[in-house]
Chains A and B, each alone.
Chain A
Amino acid sequence: MEFLATRRCLKYICFFVFAVSCPSIKNILLLDSEGKRVAVKYFSDDWPTNSSKLAFEKFVFTKTLKTNARTEAEITLLENNIIIYKFAQDLHFFVTGSDDENEIVLASVLQGFFDAVTLLLRNNVDKREALENLDLILLCLDEIVDGGMILETNGPLIAEKVTSHTIDADSSLSEQTLTQAWATAREHLTRTLLK
């Protein structure tokens, strides 16, 4: 018979065993067709340095490059992370969560991001348009997730929050944009319903 005696910290164990986590997002990436950054946002400490972030982006990009993620969002498991992704023209959208996260929740975040960007770029979802409207993309990321916590997943609502300020600032132009945005949203909704 054998005894193993060890002193352990009570608190430490409690943390691991009983912490019931809230759905959380580790990062959102928007890369171009060569894997270069258009806009990225990290919420987790898993990648502490810029070089580790770049390495992760490159890894994810090459691992998903050959898949067809243009009609439906695709999914894979890499290095114990779930990655949901979707491509449009020369843009690659990614959302990363931990491997025990609800995949469908993560997918809803990607869909929200994608829909909002589509609305904000007025259906011209490509790298040039995204860079020219980088302020909108960055605001969009800010409205979707706050410190890993999901803020909003509804694409049209996110887009509205991003553009809402222009109503006061410059009504004629932006109202038109918003009407356009809602038209696209309606169209998108009809498409989803008909599917």
Chain B
Amino acid sequence: MAQPLVKKDDDRDDEADYSPFMGIEKGAVLQEARVFNDPQLDARRCSQVITKLLYLLNQGETFTKVEATEVFFSVTKLFQSRDLGLRRMVYLIIKELSPSADEVIIVTSSLMKDMNSKTDMYRANAIRVLCRITDGTLLTQIERYLKQAIVDKNPVVASAALVSGIHLLQTNPEIVKRWSNEVQEAVQSRAALVQFHALALLHQIRQNDRLAVSKLVTSLTRGSVRSPLAQCLLIRYTSQVIRESGNTTQSGDRPFYDFLESCLRHKSEMVIFEAAKAITDLNGVTSRELTPAITVLQLFLSSSKPVLRFAAVRTLNKVAMTHPMAVTNCNIDMESLISDQNRSIATLAITTLLKTGNESSVDRLMKQITNFMSDIADEFKIVVVEAIRSLCLKFPLKYRSLMNFLSNILREEGGFDYKKAIVDSIVILIRDIPDAKESGLLHLCEFIEDCEFTYLSTQILHFLGIEGPKTVDPSKYIRYIYNRVHLENATVRASAVSTLAKFGASVDGLKPRIFVLLRRCLFDSDDEVRDRATLYLNTLGGDIEIDNDVSDFLFGSLDIPLVNLETSLKKYEPSDKAFDINLVPREVKSQPLAEKKAPGKKPTGLGAPPSGPPSTVDSYERQLLSIPEFANFGKLFKSSAPVELTEAETEYAVIVIVDASEAEEFSQVISKPLRSLPYDSPGQTFVAFEKPEGLPTTGKFSNILKFIVKEVDPTSGEAEDDGVEDEYQLEDLEVVAADYILKVGVSNFRNAWESMDPDSERVDEYGLGQRGEGLSEAVNTVINILGMQPCEGTEAVPPNSRSHTCLLSGVFIGGVKVLVRLSFGIDSTKDVAMKLAVRSDDVNVSDAIHEIVASG
């Protein structure tokens, strides 16, 4: 159909908005479709009507069942016509109408005839149509033809059969698997696309057979795959084999790495990129392996094509999260991308630079970002804010310029999510960098003077109530808080009242003035505000020392799950007996582990670092405290990362989190069994151990999960009384030294180091033996053994350096501050030596650190 559909030469030039489908109506077109039934078929006119039908479907119009059936039956008549153009349109509309099984039978014979036609175009299309609409019963009849088509010399026919095979594999795997030999032959095809389709199908047929996939990859990586798309597939399959084969071989070489590396020199950009991406995604990739991939990505950064620049900068951004030093070579190219027309590229470039930059480049970068922030969308701004937050935690000395930046953008226009990201960042900086507290709180105060989001105002007021009284001059915040009582809506006013009360409770000098302010709130128009003011005036009232109850009431968090409180309150019937909050159950109802269900889905966004659950420590602490037996153990010191005690695929996934409470010893004191565990939901059981007094004890636990399986009556949902006892051997759990050390950073290592008692210093030297992967591996190993916080970005080792100093800080169990200075050196035989200097508040702890390293 090279001709225009409707020729209207006379009037088409007048109207700019002319469309051949103007005023088109479903009813009229369905009427027109009657021409399909004419004994003398007008092929051109029929094609036009089909195009109109397709246009309607494409615009989202739907046909009723009756209409669709009618159109389908009349379309089948068009197989009489020998017009090739019309036949193409017939194929297209049959696919769009997706006929039901009994309708399919009508066209089957026509399509099978076309499948055996001499015209390749007929054969290819008939195969695709038939495979699309067939329900499997037909498949055995046409299987023979499909197998032939796979090895057909015409690439279009072969591809049609192979792609249909890929779709059919989902519904009829046992049939398609019988085509292996033909598919294997097609992999050798000279036609590029046939090779691609054949490889995709062959892999899908064999994907559950690891050995077969491995063989396939081994043979193909040796030979030459011609099609770039097929080569991309091969790279994916190779990475899969690498992933499943575990890690490096004895010699330290990764199998198939050479193949991936050779693909970096391929002539097709898509293959180069696929290989570079595969290398950067390797498990525990080393700097040496990364280098060639980074080099090709760097070339892409200066390409004239936005797609290449985007692909490269996105991949480098990801690498920068784990290997910032490897990406620093690209910094100059990266900086020129800040002014890129494409804002996605510019944002990715900036956030990469923020991750790889060193302390000296921070100020310059901030200046560039300030110009850039005004013309990007909110979602990109959030990415930038998050990158700045992590930068600030990495270089605490730079907090002043970063905090200024945050407060400036806080004042500019922006939506809720963006403002919330900024406020969250400031709050985190205040928490983690003591020096930043005063200025940060004032920025927040200024923000709530003109904040349109009630939620943010109340959050900030609450935070002020906790942090404000601890500052040198709490009185300067009062004005900001009291202004809220005058200017804001009832919700904000109520929370301002609570904040005022907290200042009054914590700062004795302010109490009389707070009282004056609270009394004024008694005349507020809102009852909640009045009630709060009255309540606080009474609880804080008089000159009596504020007792524990009051401060608990004001500052304590509600340790009862809100859901439980809600249910209890709903159940409560007004009577003489007052509602007793102590009767509310404290155990958290088990919920299905939603995030465990979809391990394939990753949080994405523009390369934002995956953020862990916000307050795991908080939630575990709360859970532990909710158990009466554990409540008197003292404050939770540290929760280790979850350890899976089972293989990830078994039916019982048991995860252990070691919670080092202050009074831990290695003899079992309490165990708290789990009463029932419904199907498909996680439950928790707790065991407490005591450890011997004094130094950290390490060791292994072997774990056995004992349980009783009970049948549940599906009608009543009640468990039956008798059950079968069973037990399940779990993996051993090792308690290591790092479980006793908390990762706590310091803002200025040198100052902190010098302020510690030099007598507590313990220095020793260690040989770490040969390290194939160089210094960074050695540094990471030691950091992991100690479980301490690397300071000032010293965990990153520049590639190929011969020596490195790493600074660590942490808090040992018992609240003892520890600082460690590690000096590494490596010689030509990759032999690594380390000098370890420790200072701490307690000499015994300094010795303990050495013991940990010596035994690790």
> A1–B4 contact, CB under 8 A?
no
**Contact (Cβ within 8 A) A5 B58:** no
In angstroms, Cα B18 to Cα A20, docked, is: 47
| From A138, A161, A177, contact of B156 by CB (8 A) | A161
The answer, yes or no, to whether A84 is at the interface (CB within 8 Å) is: yes
Q: Known contacts being A23-B232, A132-B6, A139-B88, is A2 close to B684, with CB within 8 Å?
A: yes
A72–B308 CA distance with the chains assembled, in angstroms: 11
A54 cross-chain contacts in B, Cβ below 8 A:
60
B685 touches A2 (CB 8 A): yes
Among listed B246-254, B643-651, B796-804, B829-837, interface-contacting one: B643-651
Q: Does A6 contact B (CB under 8 A)?
A: yes
Q: Are A146 and B128 in contact (CB under 8 A)?
A: yes
Q: Mark B231-246, 1 if CB is under 8 A from A, else 0.
A: 0110011011000100
Neighbouring A residues of B21 by C-beta, 8 Å: 131, 134
Please name the residue on chain A nearest to B678 by beta carbon: A7
What B residues does A53 contact at CB under 8 A? 60
A residues less than 8 Å from B277 (CB atoms)? 102
The distance in angstroms between the C-alpha atoms of A181 and B700, with both chains bound, is 74
Which of chain B's residues have a CB closer than 8 A to the CB of A151? 159, 163, 193
> How would residues 667 to 701 of chain B score, 1 for a CB under 8 Å from any chain A CB and 0 otherwise?
00000001001011111111111000000000000
**Is B167 within 8 A of A104, CB to CB?**
no
Kindly state the separation between the CA atoms of A108 and B658 in the bound complex, as whole angstroms: 51
Contacts of B687 in A (CB 8 A): 1
Closest A residue to B48 by CB, please name it.
A135
- Give residues of chain A (115-142) contacting chain B, Cβ–Cβ below 8 Å: 127-128, 131-136, 138-139, 142
Q: Which of B512-520, B595-603, B844-852 contacts A (4 or more CB under 8 A)?
A: B595-603
State the Cβ distance, A44 to closest chain B Cβ, in Å: 14
Chain B residues whose C-beta falls within 8 Å of the C-beta of A128 in the assembled complex: 12, 18-19
What are the residues of chain A within 8 A of B244 when measuring CB–CB?
18
Instruction: List chain B residues, Cβ under 8 A from A165.
Output: 84-85, 87-88, 121
Complexed CA–CA distance, A75 and B314 (Å): 12
Given known A1-B688, A133-B4, contact A7–B679 (CB-CB < 8 A): yes
Q: With a CB–CB cut-off of 8 A, which chain B residues contact A105?
A: 229, 232, 270, 274
Q: Cβ of A75 and Cβ of B342 under 8 Å apart?
A: yes
Cβ of B2 under 8 Å from chain A: yes
Indicate if B255 sits at the interface (CB-CB under 8 A): no
Instruction: Tell me the chain B residues, 269-301 only, with Cβ under 8 Å from chain A.
Output: 269-270, 273-274, 277
From B2, B88, B680, B705, name the one whose CB has the most chain A CB atoms within 10 angstroms: B2
For residue A3, which residues in chain B have a CB less than 8 angstroms away from its CB? 645, 654-656, 674, 684-685, 703, 705
| Contact call A147/B163, Cβ cutoff below 8 A | yes
Check A5/B652 contact, CB under 8 A, given A80-B604, A104-B269, A132-B6: yes
CA–CA, A136 and B47, complex, Å? 11
Q: Are A74 and B306 in contact (CB under 8 A)?
A: yes
Contact A135-B51, Cβ < 8 Å, known A2-B686, A16-B600, A20-B240: yes
Given contacts A13-B599, A74-B342, A135-B5, contact A1 B163 (CB under 8 A): no
Interface residue total, chain B, C-beta cutoff 8 A = 110
Contact of B689 with A1 in the complex, beta carbons under 8 Å: yes
CB atoms of A67 and B648 under 8 A apart: no
A174 and B2 form a contact (CB under 8 A): yes
* Contact with B20, one of A15, A20, A68, A131 (Cβ below 8 angstroms): A131
The smallest C-beta distance from A104 to any residue of chain B, in angstroms, reads 4
Bound Cα distance from A133 to B54, whole angstroms: 13
Q: Given A105-B270, A132-B6, check contact A7 B651 (CB 8 Å).
A: yes
A132 CA / B600 CA spacing, docked (Å): 44
- Taking the closest CB of chain A, its distance from the CB of B564, in whole angstroms, is 20
Given A75-B306, A102-B270, A146 and B1 contact (CB-CB distance below 8 Å): no
CA of A75 to CA of B5, assembled, Å: 34
Nearest CB of chain B from residue A161's CB, rounded to whole Å: 7
Q: Which residues of A contact B88 (CB under 8 A)?
A: 139, 165
Question: Which residues from chain A contact B83 at a C-beta distance below 8 Å?
Answer: 169
Residues of A within 8 A of B344 (CB): 75-77
Whose C-beta in chain B lies nearest to the C-beta of A153?
B229
Q: Which of A139-175 contact B (CB under 8 A)?
A: 139, 142, 146-147, 149-153, 161, 163-166, 168-169, 173-174
Asked if B821 is at the interface of the complex by the 8 Å CB criterion, the answer is no
Q: From A90, which residue of chain B is reached at the shortest CB distance? A: B16
Please pick, from B55, B239, B623, B648, the residue contacting A134 in the complex, using a CB distance under 8 A: B55
Residues on the A chain within 8 Å of B554, using CB: none
Compute how far the CA of A3 lies from the CA of B685 in the bound complex, rounded to whole angstroms.
Answer: 5
Complex contact A72–B207 (CB within 8 A): no
Q: Mark B702-737, 1 if CB is under 8 A from A, else 0.
A: 010100000000000000000000000000010000
CB distance from A7 to the nearest CB of B (A): 5
Residue among A13, A68, A132 with most chain B CB within 10 A: A132
Given contacts A20-B203, A131-B19, contact A168 B92 (CB under 8 A): no
| Least CB separation from B119: chain A residue | A168
Taking a contact as CB atoms under 8 Å apart, the answer to whether A152 and B342 are in contact is no
CA distance A102 to B132 in the complex (A): 27
User: Chain B residues near A108 (CB, 8 Å)?
Assistant: 270
Q: Is A88 an interface residue (CB 8 A)?
A: no
**CB of B620 within 8 Å of the partner chain:** yes
Is B80 at the interface (CB under 8 A from chain A)?
no
Q: How far is the CB of B570 from chain A (nearest CB, A)?
A: 29
Cβ contact of B304, chosen from A18, A37, A72, A139, cutoff 8 A: A72
B197 at the interface (CB under 8 A from A): yes
Contact of A4 among B55, B160, B654, B679 (CB under 8 A): B654
- Ordered nearest first, which 5 A-B pairs have the shortest CB separation? A16-B600, A165-B84, A50-B60, A104-B270, A103-B311
Jot down 19 A-B pairs with beta carbons below 8 A, ordered by A. Answer: A2-B686, A4-B593, A5-B653, A8-B649, A14-B649, A16-B598, A67-B342, A72-B305, A77-B344, A77-B606, A102-B232, A104-B307, A105-B229, A105-B274, A128-B19, A132-B4, A132-B20, A133-B5, A138-B92
Chain A residues with CB under 8 Å of chain B are: 1-8, 10, 12-23, 37, 39-40, 50, 53-54, 67-68, 72-77, 80, 84, 99, 102-105, 107-108, 127-128, 131-136, 138-139, 142, 146-147, 149-153, 161, 163-166, 168-169, 173-174, 177
Given A1-B733, A5-B685, A18-B207, 4 more pairs with CB closer than 8 A:
A18-B244, A107-B307, A135-B47, A135-B89
